[in-house]
Amino acid sequence: MSCGHNLNKDHVTLPPGRGQHGFIESFPPPSPSLQTILVGDSGVGKTSLLVQYDQGKFLPGSFTATVGIGFTVMLLGDSSVGKTCLLVRFKDGAFLGGNFIATVGIDFRNKVVDVDNLKVKLQIWDTAGQERFRSVTHAYYRDAQALLLLYDITSKTSFDNIRAWLTEIHEYAQKEVVIMLLGNKSDMAAERAVKTEEGEKLAKEYGVPFMETSAKTGVNVELAFLAIAKELKHRTTQQPNEPKFQIHDYIESQRQKTACCGLK
Ligand SMILES: Nc1nc2c(ncn2[C@@H]2O[C@H](COP(=O)(O)OP(=O)(O)OP(=O)(O)O)[C@@H](O)[C@H]2O)c(=O)[nH]1
Ligand SMILES: [Mg+2]
């Protein structure tokens, strides 16, 4: 079973209506006017209702108030670079290899992460890399606060296409969107076609952070999403007298920790 299969089986294939920021949930089809917003006093059961609708189950136990902020992150890159697998690894901590099933249109998943004791909800949109879906995905670029742009370290073509992806991003995305370049499939060292330094050089040229990831082993997957969440959270909550969050420095410091302590 491939990652694509896993992600699509219980989810509709288009993300919610655009422009929401925070914990407003809406359901496809993506008509701009068709949205369902859950409102009501704290504790009445808004989250439980949504979980029941989305996952068909009831969340028993202690009540956790929905607090914090939310952001939209979009995964981009050529078909088969591993976008869906990266998302499945981050969301479920699993890698489902096997037959590759390409994503159709757009899919999405939510994950809440803790950033400096604040709950940050990431709504992650997994786009289809195939050319024929480009016009569908273009429509969603402008609502993403962050973009993870992937290539496959075993595919020179997917790396060469990164410049074209960045051109599209500049055309369709928000000006201040956070971009991160990821060289995925770092576990496939024997088949490597793109050197780490080439990825670093390209990222430097465009002034974006870079790291190599593996959806298979999990290396740097959590770090990539957490760095994005931290950057977005700091942009939103930063006081004028606070020092600016430096995403490059954060990634470097976390990498050093990983190298020293064997963490993923
Ligand atoms: N070894 C290895 N294989 C990977 C990794 N990530 C993905 N794959 C494999 O690469 C193939 C494509 O992965 P997907 O995640 O479905 O690719 P995608 O980028 O979502 O492709 P589209 O949906 O067509 O855009 C699958 O066969 C995966 O098993 C990785 O980190 N390491
Ligand atoms: Mg996919």
Average pLDDT, the chain: 84
The ligand 1 atom nearest the CA atom of 103? 23
What ranges do the domains of the chain cover?
70-261
Phi, psi values for residue 180, rounded to 5°? -130, 135
Q: Are 15 and 140 in contact (CB under 8 A)?
A: yes
DSSP helix/strand/coil, 179: strand
User: Please, are residues 115 and 226 in contact by the beta-carbon 8 Å criterion?
Assistant: yes
Ligand 2 centre and the CA of 200: distance in Å?
24
Indicate which ligand has the atom closest to the C-alpha of 85.
1
pTM (global) more than 0.75: yes
CA distance 19 to 33: 12
Nearest CA to ligand 1 atom 2: 185
How many whole angstroms separate alpha carbon 179 and alpha carbon 166? 9
Q: What is the pLDDT of residue 60?
A: 64
pLDDT digits (tens, 9 = 90+) for 74-102: 999 999 999 999 999 999 999 978 889 99
More confident residue, 205 or 56: 205
- Classified as helix, coil or strand, 245 is coil
Mean pLDDT of 179-188: 98
pLDDT band at 67 (very low <50, low <70, confident <90, very high): low
Average pLDDT for residues 141-150, to the nearest whole number? 96
**Which residues form ligand 1's pocket by a CB distance below 6 Å?**
2-4, 79-85, 97, 100, 102-103, 128-130, 184-185, 187-188, 214-216
Which is more confident, 12 or 134? 134
C-beta of residue 73 within 8 angstroms of C-beta of residue 225: yes
Backbone angles phi, psi at 250, to 5 degrees: -60, -45
Task: Answer with the residue of higher pLDDT: 33 or 127.
Answer: 127
Tell me the average pLDDT across 24-33.
38
Ligand 2 ion: residues within 5 Å (CB): 4, 83-84, 103
Nearest CA owner, ligand 1 atom 9? 82
Of the residues 7, 78, 84, 211, which should be mutated to test ligand 1's pocket, given the most ligand atoms within 8 Å of the CB?
A: 84
83 alpha carbon – ligand 2 mean position (Å): 5
pLDDT tens, residue by residue, 235-244: 988 877 888 8
Query: Are 9 and 107 a contacting pair, CB within 8 Å?
Result: no
Q: Indicate whether 263 pLDDT > 70.
A: no
Q: Which atom of ligand 1 is nearest to the CA of 85?
A: 15
Helices (H), 104-215: 134-141, 156-160, 162-172, 196-206
Q: What is the mean pLDDT of residues 203-216?
A: 97
Of residues 136 and 64, the one with the higher pLDDT is 136
Which residue, among 110, 16, 102, has the nearest Cα to 55 in the 3D structure?
Answer: 110
Topology of the domain comprising 70-261 = Rossmann fold (3.40.50)
* Ligand 1 mutation target, pool 85, 152, 154, 155, most atoms within 8 A of CB: 85
Phi, psi angle pair for 159, to nearest 5°: -70, -45
Backbone φ and ψ of 147, nearest 5°: -130, 125
Over 60: is that where the pLDDT of 11 sits?
no
